[in-house]
Structure 1
């Protein structure tokens, strides 16, 4: 039997080639991951209109995962929460009423992970172009999180994004001004990082989290599944506040 501890249902954009293999690395024994995909863009480029379209797929994706019998729902598109901040809370509430199971978004998990370290001063490493980055910074400000340093890869083309490597992310992080930062947040579900989080924490001397790592950490906490994932960062020593 697969998923004898928990079955997790994951909703992701069709272009995302990172989150599934990363969560597979992080997922402990007895926990199974089931995924459905949602079309956000047929052009190959990220856009606000594409994110509006992806939300229209959520009900269908939820029904598919409900039939699978999952114990929790993970929404793996971070930028949806930038464009539709009010939608996020209604989505989680709707899922809980419908299935009696927790629903966790990439953004809510990232915020919970940051707060678990009792700090508000963070550095951001992300992939977003100017408009999406502006919306993202607005969202952090609304959550009273102080972004003291930002480095963006500035990528909107999906094919370019899918070829970013862990080495690219490591070198980008090392190039940042982190003097005022209490932690580094690698923001997005489609840039790889979980294999280098431990190395970055050692080399930078501050906690490092990623959105994908935060998403799994959050749901395991919600389901009261204890794991020892110290190979993938100090976040797994923390609890939700």
Structure 2
């Protein structure tokens, strides 16, 4: 049994029922709540007690329930700054010995694992709060390419909006964007607006993930306890997030071990909505262009992928002088001059493959190939659990 403790804003009426609905079919999880005073959301913090001692007092009560993780289920760190959340979590863990996290950490982690850099932002807050959030998120590699807000300050009023208004808020945040960068996800930043009831509808309409604060906080708290965090039917984050989180760790480790410029993994997993025409995870060296959200190529039709299908072994290419040749776009658009591809099989089918890209031609060492083999084996084990 996993017990999650959550610190809740006192005027919040959305997150508790939403969280309990999400875990309704999970008898292995219980969630326990306590509250701190929060009545209004403004940059002056009037009507809210976000100080560390108030958080500690709430955490001590949750610790009495022997919870496995304590989550501050509020997004104040999004405008107060991530350093504020770090201080709160460090103080809670030092005081109670229990791992701690926050809604803001969960949102940022979800963006990291889904490879999101261009983000649309939907909130009930006022424009100055949204501007502060935008500035803070920019420090973490996230560019707001669109945003919509209700311009409200009274926290209790946030939860009074109907599902249709929440769906419209999310769609409007994406459609408000301008310029060359399309939103790769939309974040609903507030735990007193329940986006969990419209996640599937909005994601089907927009074709991108909705990172709902309530769902994200539950997901990340479960991940921190080592509990299966997948909840089918509750949006892309709770559906794909557990696998993407582990895939991100694998491509990051592969790039670090090989010293290459970019690593990716593509996965065909229909039950999760994953297809190989988009990367499930990517890791890049600084200044290297992302390929993760480019769906322009039919991956199964590529000469290199057909080679993997036929041979089912690691393809090592120090140069591209000999066949099988990669697509011209990989060379011309993304500047790749050498690569290693590692196939992953399940039930006799080529269901995934890793790519390690180098901008310069290079010899791939036995250690590089061993790192690729490790990644392939780890992904094989992960996919067996799906």
Q: TM-score, normalised by structure 1?
A: 0.90
Give 1:197-216 correspondences, 5 Å limit: 197-216=199-218
| Cα distance in 2 for residues equivalent to 1:98 and 1:165 | 40
In structure 1, stretches of 5+ residues that fail to align are none
Contact 1:165-1:192 at 8 Å conserved across structures: no
| Cα distance in 1 for residues equivalent to 2:156 and 2:95 | 36
| Cα distance in 2 for residues equivalent to 1:227 and 1:142 | 28
Q: Which residue of 1 aligns with 2:190?
A: 188
Matching residue within 140, 163, 177 for 1:166: 163
In the TM superposition, what whole-angstrom CA distance separates every residue of 1:174-195 from its partner, at most 9, and x where no partner exists? 3341571111111110111101
Question: What SS class does the counterpart of residue 189 from structure 1 fall into?
Answer: coil
Q: Which residue of 1 aligns with 2:79?
A: 82
| Cα distance in 1 for residues equivalent to 2:106 and 2:230 | 19
Question: What SS class does the counterpart of residue 155 from structure 1 fall into?
Answer: coil
Q: Which residue of 2 aligns with 1:129?
A: 126
Q: In structure 2, do the counterparts of structure 1 residues 81 and 185 end up closer, same or farther at CA, with 3 Å as the change threshold? A: closer
| Cα distance in 2 for residues equivalent to 1:118 and 1:22 | 26
| Cα distance in 1 for residues equivalent to 2:47 and 2:82 | 12
With CA pairs under 8 Å and 6+ residues apart, which has the higher RCO, 1 or 2?
A: 1
Matching residue within 96, 99, 122 for 1:99: 96
In the TM superposition, what whole-angstrom CA distance separates every residue of 1:110-166 from its partner, at most 9, and x where no partner exists? 100111111211111111102211211111111111110001111112343221122
Q: In structure 2, do the counterparts of structure 1 residues 53 and 165 end up closer, same or farther at CA, with 3 Å as the change threshold? A: same
| Cα distance in 2 for residues equivalent to 1:227 and 1:108 | 16
In the TM superposition, residue 221 of structure 1 has moved relative to its aligned partner by 1.2
Q: Which residue of 1 aligns with 2:143?
A: 146
Contact 1:123-1:181 at 8 Å conserved across structures: yes
In the TM superposition, residue 173 of structure 1 has moved relative to its aligned partner by 2.4
Q: Which residue of 1 aligns with 2:38?
A: 40
Give the paired residue count: 234
| Cα distance in 2 for residues equivalent to 1:124 and 1:26 | 23
| Cα distance in 2 for residues equivalent to 1:75 and 1:51 | 17
| Cα distance in 2 for residues equivalent to 1:116 and 1:61 | 30
| Cα distance in 2 for residues equivalent to 1:175 and 1:140 | 20
Return 213-222 or 224-233, whichever deviates more: 224-233
CA RMSD of aligned residues (A): 1.9
